[in-house]
Amino acid sequence: MASPAPLEIVAIPAFADNYLWLVHDPASGETAVVDPGDAGSVLAAAEARGWRIGQVWNTHWHPDHTGGNAAVVAATGAMLSAPAAEATRIANIDAPLKEGDTIRIGEHVGQVWEVPGHTLGHVALIFADAGVAFVGDTMFAMGCGRLFEGSPEQMHASLQRLAALPGDTALYCAHEYTLANARFAAHAFPADAAIADRLATVAAMREAGQATVPTSVALERATNPFLRAASVEQFAQLRTAKDRF
């Protein structure tokens, strides 16, 4: 059986540093949007491409990820899929998502992983066939989300789980935080050549106005300081240090 055609994934910048992701399956013509904090920008981007949004996927409840849900659904009739554990924080969920569920766009099937830490109900959407994962605010390029609701134990486990994906998996996170994260990584691991090299690369990319995401699992294994933590205690120390950096 032939593999499905590759997904087209487009970054829509929003607010100060968010990325909202349009996901288009050219074979079926279906389009989804991941974490539409701002409805106007994603609707305009889809219209410009001749795409009609049929699905909204939320990774967690924070307003910069869900604020445009209602307007997108009203404009398109899209179905809303969002974490079941956050149903009290996200209105009008059509498909509550929990561990082990699947999500589809065309012939592509994604697995729902619960990855708590940033929020308690945070999910990631793993499309193994396409080699992509939408990880919201759990893992960033060279970083991870703040522990607003979850524990160090939860976030450490969530990060290690994502890091065990194939190295060529593209990680689509929701913020352009890479330069700040790289500066912290270089501070935490000052003798690490791979981190120093990536800091220089990221600084040049941002100076040129280029996006630094998606990233890859392999690149994060090599340079993400939070994946260096050999224990929950070490992770917690790093996260506290980053919060104060």
Which residue among the candidates 60, 108, 122, 156 is catalytic per the annotation?
60
Which residue among the candidates 108, 122, 156, 175 is catalytic per the annotation?
175
187 is catalytic: no
DSSP 227: G
Tokens at residue 94, please? 């059509």
65 is catalytic: yes
Tokens at residue 4, please? 């499905």
CA atoms within 13 A on the CB side of 134: 30
DSSP 5: P
24 is catalytic: no
Residues in the chain: 245
122 is catalytic: no
Which residue among the candidates 25, 38, 64, 122 is catalytic per the annotation?
64
118 is catalytic: yes
Which residue among the candidates 25, 35, 38, 62 is catalytic per the annotation?
62
Which residue among the candidates 65, 108, 122, 156 is catalytic per the annotation?
65
Which residue among the candidates 25, 35, 38, 137 is catalytic per the annotation?
137
Q: Do β-strands 215-216 and 123-127 pair in parallel, antiparallel, or remain unpaired?
A: unpaired
Which residue among the candidates 24, 118, 122, 156 is catalytic per the annotation?
118
Angle at 63 between CA 158 and CA 232, to 5 degrees: 20
Q: Active-site residue numbers?
A: 60, 62, 64-65, 118, 137, 175
